[in-house]
Structure 1
Amino acid sequence: MSTSNPSSDQAAGDWQLPWTGGCRCGQVRLRISAPPLLSMACHCTGCQTMSASAFSLSLAIPTPGFEVVSGEPVIGGLHGADSHHYFCPHCKSWMFTRAEGLDDFVNLRPSMLDRHEWVEPFIETWADEKLPWASTPAKHSFGTMPAFDAFPALVEAYAREGVRPAKR
């Protein structure tokens, strides 16, 4: 996924940055200082199981704009070579994911943000595994994961059309 984000010039105004957040118990705290590249819902059965829900939500945050400011998240979930899922060691909240070989961004669970009511998925992935009753307002739906070369256009479209937080 390309991390060039045409909206970075307006980041502070359009995106109401920086954002703060943390796990449910507050032992791990985060700071986000760059606008997201993309918002997504993943309907794969792995995300259904890990989130105990119909899908997982994520915001792809450029790595330089993502910071753990307190606490020490631990790897949990699957301990595979392709992704590392980070959790609070105390309350076990699934906080973010780092995909192996994709070091340019971090997939943040938006519910970790102090203000996350504005987040809605722009794309949904693994819709072939979607529960029959689950629906999202995503503008783009993919049966599996989109081809890697589709991401630059999706990132560009999200920079133009993605939902932003309301003014504070």
Structure 2
Amino acid sequence: MPTLTLPAEGGCRCGRVRLKISAKPLLTMACHCTGCQLMSSSTYSLSAAIPADGFEIIKGEPVIGGLHGASRHYFCGYCMTWMFTRPEGLDWFVNLRPTMLDDPAWFRPFIETWTSEKLPWATTPAVHSYAAPPAIEEYDGLVAEYAKTQA
């Protein structure tokens, strides 16, 4: 399987917003919640939790979209591509949609969440599955386990 080469760049569908990551993901995920299904127009959304100091917008300016709630979902204001999310109270990472990167072939979800809402036929290669999000206390262990798979 291909590996992530850093720094890595990517952008929205139209190219008006470009980004760069310079840090490896802390964790990779697939979310099956109905909100992500609706926002991604797909069976689930994919995320790579990138340390905030390893993420930057290098061209354009994304806009907040989605539900405009506590978690801020960022889109290209022109093509409306959902690019990344900044969860409220968790400013130390950014949930990047990994398919925004120019080469997303390295991506594989390590965990999947909200399987209680997944479409019956939807599957992922995730190592861990959760009916809802994991308990906050579980994330340190998941991050450590994921890091071992990337070494």
Q: Give the TM-score category using the shorter length.
A: over 0.9
The answer to whether the aligner puts 1:39 opposite 2:62 as a matched pair is: no
Distance in 1, Cα, partners of 2:20 & 2:98: 12
Question: Which residue does the alignment assign to 2:118?
Answer: 130
For structure 1, list consecutive stretches of 5 or more residues without a partner in the other structure: 1-13
For the residues of structure 2 that align with 1:137 and 1:121, how far apart are their CA atoms? 7
Q: CA RMSD in A?
A: 1.1
Q: CA offset at residue 15 of structure 1?
A: 4.0
Offset of 1:161 from its aligned partner? 1.2
Q: Trace 1:1-168 onto structure 2 (pairs within 5 A).
A: 15-80=4-69, 82-162=70-150
Q: In structure 2, what is the Cα distance between the partners aligned to 1:53 and 1:84?
A: 20
Shift of 1:117: 1.6
Query: After TM superposition, where is structure 1 displaced by more than 2 Å over at least 4 residues in a row?
Result: none
Give 1:118 shift: 1.9
TM-score w.r.t. length of structure 2: 0.96
Distance 2:106 2:42 in 1: 19
Distance, in Å, in 1 between the alignment partners of 2:40 and 2:30 is 11
Paired residue secondary structure (1:20) = strand
Structure 2: how far apart are the matches of 1:118 and 1:16?
9
Counterpart AA for 2:51: P
What code does the residue aligned with 1:106 have? V
AA of the residue aligned to 1:157: E
Give the AA of the match of 1:60: A
Identity of aligned residues (%): 64
* Structure 2: unaligned runs, 5 residues or longer: none
